[in-house]
Amino acid sequence: MSTTDIVIFLLAVACVVALAWATDRRLDSLEARMTTYETIRIEAPVTADGGRR
C-alpha cells in the first residue's frame, strides 16, 4: 500500500465515523423532541370543547 492509499482509507474511515456520529445526534435530538411533545400533550389535556386547559 502506498501512502496515498493509506490517506484515502483514513479519510474514508473518518467520513463514516462522522456520518454515524451525526446520525446518532440527530436521532437523540428527535427522541428528545418527541419526549417533550408527549410531556406537553400529557400535561395539557384537550377539553371537551377542543381547547386546551
Domain ranges of the chain: 1-43
Q: Running DSSP on this structure, what letter comes out for residue 50?
A: S
Give pLDDT tens digits for 7-30: 999 999 999 988 888 887 777 777
Beta bridge mates, 52: 46
Q: Average model confidence (pLDDT) for the chain?
A: 75
Cell representation of residue 29:
435530538
Q: What does the pLDDT read at residue 48?
A: 64
* CA end-to-end span of the chain: 68
